[in-house]
Amino acid sequence: MKVRVRVPATTANLGPGFDALGMALDLWNETLWTPSEDGRIHVTIAGEGAGVLPTDATNAIVAAALSLYDRLGVPCPGFRVHCVNRIPLGSGLGSSSAALLSGLLGANALLGEPLSREEILRMAIETEGHPDNVAPAMLGGLVVSILHDGRVVSIKLPARANRAPVRATVVLPDIDFPTEYARSILPRTVDRQDAIYNISRSVLVVEALRTGDLEMLGKAMDDRIHQPYRLPLIPGALAAMEAARRAGAAAVALSGAGPSLIAFSADWDLTIGEAMRREFERAGLRARVFHLRVTERGARVIRWQRAGK
């Protein structure tokens, strides 16, 4: 048997939607799984992280797979997994969530899918600690998540856009900005007025993205909880955001915890990404530009039997 798992990139927080809003983007990591004949684990990696990521049990995909075997109380019979990574590491585009889901879904498929997708999602959220990347990666589209009675409730909003599709330009500066560090610099308490500021705008951001209303998105895509603390630590980020707006972007925000910036527009406009890239370069950082669509499709698993089996 062979198993192919595809998991999309995600952008989280979405301005004021700190730890609550997430959206899937049309940039995919793929893993190809087969049982190994020697009972060992074999990992090969192509694309992002090749030659850098570990290929033993400390690999995030392997660790996730082994955690599922442990959860089920089943010994791991060994497997081969070939990873094709397109989501940049440490970018604010959900690479860790994609690795986690890839491992859980791959192992679950090899075992004949004893766990439902809902159970896999719950396990992933327990492991990750917050749902804003994991949930849209699994479900696709725009996802809102809350914590209720100790459990996460995630809702995928239907795609009913009555305007043109929203386009996303992501610019990734070449700087090490670990998520753990990005979280550690945030204050432990939030001013009441800042909380009100974010809550009201989060509602508008959801509606703007759901309907494709870029004018509303431009008014609502602002934040007082995380971006004021993170953006100044990324050289060129504030200037890049202003450059994107001048170039025609309707709204700009940090993607996840950063360091990527994500700009939204109605059409593909190469000048938006180039304007942001130039500002990062002025600050001494190289940067990559990605032109991405929002995808309504979430993680996908395909199983098939090898010839002669």
**So where are the chain's domains?**
2-157+295-304, 167-293
pLDDT, position 159: 57
For the stretch 218-244, pLDDT in tens is 999 999 999 999 999 999 999 999 999
Considering the four listed CATH numbers 3.40.50.300, 2.40.340.10, 3.30.230.10, 3.30.1120.10, the one that applies to the domain covering 2-157+295-304 is: 3.30.230.10
pTM over 0.85: yes
For the stretch 30-51, pLDDT in tens is 999 999 999 999 999 999 999 9
pLDDT, position 306: 60
- CA distance to 91, 97, 100, 220, 291, per residue, from 106 (Å): 24, 14, 10, 38, 28
From CA 143, how far away is CA 206, in angstroms rounded?
Answer: 9
Architecture of the CATH domain 167-293: 2-Layer Sandwich (3.30)
Q: Which residues of the chain have pLDDT under 50?
A: 308-309
pLDDT, position 32: 98
Q: Please, which residues have CB within 8 angstroms of residue 140's CB and are 6 or more apart in sequence?
A: 8, 24, 156, 295, 296, 297, 298, 299
